[in-house]
Chains A and B, each alone.
Chain A
Amino acid sequence: MGRLLNELPVGYCPAYSLDSDIEINAQIPENLKRNLDLGLPNVTESDLLRHFTNLSRKNYALSTTFYPLGSCTMKHNLLVSERIAKFNNFTNLHPYQNSKTIQGVLEIMYNLEKDLCEISGMDYFSLQQAAGAHGEFASLLIIAKYFKSIKQKRTKVIVPDSAHGTNPASATLAGFDIVSLKSEPDGSVLPEKLKEILTPEIAAIMLTVPNTLGTFERNIHEISKVVHENGSLLYYDGANLNAIMGVVRPGDMGFDIMHVNLHKTFSTPHGGGGPGSGPVGVKAFLDPFLPVPKIEIAGNEFVLNYEKPKSIGKLKAFFGNFPVLLKAYVYIKSLGAKGLKNASEQAVLNANYMLARFKDKINVPAGNRCMHEFVLAPKASFKSAIKTLDVAKRLLDCGYYAPTVYFPLIVEEAIMIEPTETESKETLDSFVDVLTKIILDEASSEPQKLKDAPVNTAVGRLNEVEAARNPVLRWK
């Protein structure tokens, strides 16, 4: 069993130490001085290296296995992006350097904004937000400020029940009340149903296109029309942009504002849970409200403009997660227009291929076609007390990370699969074979095997209920 840091042997000499070329003289008055024991481990470099390296090996990662997490777009993370982001002339810069000395940084941010505008059909982007949910929050603040500026009191936001959980959470954080909209079984929104709840209080509707069941919103024209006729704004959740690059643009579909997750569509790594980046794109009429600073060109130089009196302010200190922005920009320059479109086409091809192989065997609530991802509803196939959770754990034993499970909430026992464009047919085939076998054969013939899973991982199935009932959140 693995040990914790504080259980490692106490070393003679800890891993790091420093000397000072100036005499150490740090008299601290008693009222300001720390008396509490620091309680830090005292471990040698070799023991720490082993400790953390061995821990890393207990992770399934994109670099070790297929990671078909729906809505998370776990595509290959370019190695060249990582290498470039480690250049000393990028990592070793201070945000308050004179802008003349960080022209390379500003050039990248300026050009990335232009490229994101071109890909999405929006007019301006802010790159400051640190994650998708952060981008949603910023967008909703922009929407609130816009309506305030035109003196309209709109207090509610419509969120379909198939949407990501962050949508209602972000809208609430921005001060809106949520009106939940029941989606159709394929996750889509019916304009007539939408119309019924479009009151003068509605500020915006948050849509995910393709929706979380992987289908394109075929009534988008009509939806856009009724929303705008009501004076409301149309918001695009761009977590799912991987299906549409070079194919169709949110700006052209009638969306007024959107966010995009660079750590999904644009190949930047997820880091086990961040750092990410959630740029916000807007049509020109919302530009005055974007966060400061804005990067502009003055003469032949890039400058930071803080003079935006209507701006919502700042969402984060400084300019955003620059390394993530840089990696996304490298990705775009690597692929170019053709490559981006090709990536989307291949992502959709891969997803449809898997769907085609599943569809005659396992229930698919959204029909025979999908965009970049699709959802299985295996409940009808489960003869015994088997749950989707058991299937997910059994997949881990077969060497795969599990797809997203129990989401979207509108599908019982959902399994949401997103293969991305960077997986080979062979990988897709083996995964389909294994998952089909688990659901159709093993679930009936060897249910205990699923209930006992996983057995091939670092630990067996963990008791989550107990973890929450008696929380142990640090070593004691």
Chain B
Amino acid sequence: MNYTSQNQKDKKEMIKTIGVNDVSELFDVVPKDLRAKELNISGGKTEQELLNCFSDIASKNRVLRSFRGAGVYDHFIPSLVGEITGRSEFWTAYTPYQAEASQGTLQTVFEYQSLICALTGLDTSNASLYDGATAIAEAALLALRVNRKDKILISSALHPEYIKVVKTYLESKAKLVFLDVSSFNGTIEKETLDANLDENTAAVIMQSPNYFGVVEDMQVMSVVTRNKNSLFVAVVNPLSLGIFKAPGEYNADIAVGEGQVLGSSMNVGGATFGFMAVKKALEWKMPGRIVGQTFDKRGNRGFVLTLQSREQHIRREKATSNICTNASLNALAGCVFLSGWGNYGFKKLAEINVSKARYAFDRIKSLKGFRSKFGKDRVFFNEFVIETEKDINKINEVLLENDILGPLDLSNHYNVLDCIPVSLNLLRMRMSFKNCLLFCVTEQRTKCEIDKLTEILSKI
């Protein structure tokens, strides 16, 4: 296909106006010996051919009933989300540089920021970041900028991909120390934090619910952290905040996380968005775009990109970050998603996740050959770890035959990602989670599906 507009007559006139004989003359400045040969790229397909061709390719993927989470979740997406993000006035607009002609984007970002603040209980949100992993890395960088210390303590129960990204961003800038996770409780113990926290600690990064699905006592960790004048960074699942303590309630300085659960499809893990909210005192140190309210001459309320003197297009090498494009359309999905539940409905959504996961947990752990990995009083949101003596590969093979995406094999997963920094630590994680499965149950799974899962498991 060809999407250029000019007919031959127009082209001729344009060439004449420019004062050349043909288009190729416009490229005379490109040295002859550098000119490309004809590219070896297939294509030139019509729309109909493209639809057929990509239907064929898509059919090589399999859509499964998912009992797997680990950072990406199958959640219900209300129809309104697609309706709004599908409006071309939103998806074909650029970053809102001309405020007066971009009030749609700007106001929705302002509303998004407001909703993220309400959810996290913090003062200021930015307009979004690439994803949860990069949001955590940016939070760590922010902490280094604020208090000029050089050590960051990180929960080993942080998602291993997030750990890997944080390492990529910060390895050369800070000393990263990983807090061991208790294999009995599936959480980081206060004593572990006490033992590692010192005057040089810029920030402590804790995830709750953590990678193993367990809800951490963030209040306790936050108090300990702040007593040493370090920043407390809470990595949270925004859906879980319908029922679990908000970062603002336990005095976190920064809340970050993955926004995929707020209205974005799984999309093999991207595109999603990362969110970041901070205390007022940190807002000038934040990375990324921020939208603020203002007025025009006649007193009409409007919205603009603001606090821009933090940003790369003005500050260049002195900017708080290099971010320009973020994940605006996914953040819009998050905004529309959060706007339609009401307090009661949003809390209920979180409760359904807990209840269904709890139901599945109770069923599975009572099967012969399966048991809960952690002590029984652990609180979880929608993921839990089960230890089994059965052949894990066999389990997932059989489930796949039934179009079910089974739980994640934790021992193998740490092998693949190889991302806990100290090899001793890695070895320990691998040993601790040998024969362990990470299950995920969201509101999308029906009782019938959960029963079927347990039935299949019972027969293996």
Contact A253 B326 (CB under 8 A): no
Q: Select A38's contact among B59, B88, B346, beta carbons within 8 Å.
A: B346
The answer to whether B296 and A474 touch across the interface, beta carbons within 8 angstroms, is: no
As a 0/1 sequence over residues 207 to 247 of chain B, the CB contacts with chain A under 8 angstroms (1 = contact) are: 00000000101010000000000000000000001111110
Which residues of chain B (87-143) have a CB below 8 Å from chain A? 87-105, 107-111, 113-115, 117-119, 121, 123-125, 127-128, 130-134, 141
Q: What is the distance, in angstroms, from A462's C-beta to the closest C-beta of chain B?
A: 5
Q: Decide: A393 and B314 in contact? CB cutoff 8 A.
A: no
Q: In the complex, what distance in Å separates the CA atom of A319 from the CA atom of B457?
A: 30
Query: With A and B bound together, what is the CA distance between A6 and B219 in angstroms?
Result: 30
Once bound together, how far apart are the Cα atoms of A123 and B74, in whole Å? 36
The residue from A42, A121, A322, A407 contacting B270, defined by CB atoms under 8 A apart: A322
Residues of chain A within 8 A of B107, CB atoms compared: 2, 4, 55, 58
| Stretch of A197-205, A329-337, A379-387, A437-445 contacting B (4+ beta carbons < 8 Å) | A329-337
> What are 6 of the A-B contact pairs (CB < 8 Å)?
A1-B300, A26-B355, A80-B47, A165-B314, A314-B164, A457-B100
**Inside 8 A of B296's CB, which chain A residues have their CB?**
459-463
| Assembled-state Cα–Cα distance A424/B110 (Å) | 35
Residue in A45, A330, A336, A401 whose CB lies within 8 Å of B80: A45
Cβ–Cβ < 8 Å partners of A448 in chain B: none
Q: Which residues of A contact B396 (CB under 8 A)?
A: 98
Query: Is B34 an interface residue, CB under 8 A from the partner?
Result: yes
A299 at the interface (CB under 8 A from B): no
* Cα-based distance from A321 to B275 in the complex (angstroms): 16
Smallest CB separation, A34 vs chain B (Å): 5
* B:351-389 near A, CB below 8 Å: 351-352, 354-356, 358-359, 379
Q: Are B215 and A32 in contact (CB under 8 A)?
A: yes
Q: Which of A21, A34, A35, A173 contacts B322 (CB 8 A)?
A: A173
**0/1 string, A85-104, CB within 8 A of B gives 1:** 00111111111111001111
User: Is B426 engaged at the interface, CB distance under 8 Å to the other chain?
Assistant: no
Candidates A170, A218, A474; contact of B113 at CB < 8 Å: A474
The reply to whether B54 and A342 contact each other, CB–CB distance below 8 Å, is: no
| Contact A104/B11 with A38-B119, A96-B408, A396-B98 known, Cβ cut-off 8 Å | no
Residue among A2, A40, A263 with most chain B CB within 10 A:
A40
Residue of A nearest to B326 (CB): A274
Query: Total interface residues on A, using CB and 8 Å?
Result: 194
Whether the pair A93, B313 counts as a contact (CB closer than 8 A) is no
Give chain A residues whose Cβ lies under 8 Å from the Cβ of B123.
474
Q: Are B17 and A136 in contact (CB under 8 A)?
A: no
Q: Which of B134, B162, B339 contacts A40 (CB 8 A)?
A: B339
Query: Using an 8 Å CB-CB cutoff, how does the interface string of A331-348 with B read, 1 for contact, 0 for none?
Result: 011111111111101101
Is B332's CB under 8 angstroms from A105's CB?
no
Instruction: Tell me if B460 counts as interface (CB < 8 A to partner A).
Output: no
* Given A34-B241, A253-B34, A459-B300, A16:B78 Cβ within 8 A: yes
Question: Which residues of chain A are near B59, meaning CB under 8 Å?
Answer: 89, 104
Which of A52, A261, A421, A468 has most B Cβ within 10 Å?
A: A52
**Interface pair B43/A335, CB less than 8 Å apart:** yes
Residues in A neighbouring B301, C-beta threshold 8 A? 1-2, 459
How far apart are the CA atoms of A159 and B316 in the complex, in Å? 10
- Stretch from B165-173, B175-183, B189-197 contacting the other chain: B165-173
- Pairwise interchain contact B267-A322, C-beta atoms closer than 8 A: yes
Partner of A273, one of B105, B125, B168, B446: B105
Interface: B161 (CB within 8 A): yes
B289, B304, B319, B443: the one within 8 Å of A20 (CB): B443
B45 within 8 A of A: yes
Bound-complex Cα distance A338 to B43 (A):
9
Interface stretch of the complex, out of B19-27, B148-156, B198-206, B428-436 = B19-27
- In the complex, what residues of B have CB within 8 A of residue A55's CB? 103-104, 107-108
Residue numbers in B under 8 Å from A422 (CB-CB): 3-5
List the A side residues contacting B57 at CB < 8 Å.
Answer: 104, 107-108
B1-15 residues with Cβ-Cβ distance < 8 A to A are 1-6, 10-11, 13-15
Q: Tell whether B188 is near chain A: CB-to-CB under 8 Å.
A: no
Taking A87-B55, A93-B267 as known contacts, 4 extra A-B pairs with beta carbons closer than 8 A to each other, sorted by chain A number, are A98-B400, A273-B127, A275-B271, A335-B43
Asked whether A80 lies within 8 Å of B50 as measured between CB atoms, the reply is yes
Verify if B402 is at the interface (C-beta below 8 Å from A). no
Q: Pick the contact of A92: B14, B63, B215 (CB < 8 A).
A: B63
Q: Are B102 and A21 in contact (CB under 8 A)?
A: no
Question: At the interface, yes or no: B39 with Cβ under 8 Å from chain A?
Answer: yes
Tell me the bound Cα distance from A34 to B289 in angstroms: 29
Contacts of A48 in B (CB 8 A): 80, 336, 339-340
Ranked 6 nearest A-B pairs via Cβ = A336-B43, A318-B269, A271-B329, A15-B340, A95-B269, A273-B328
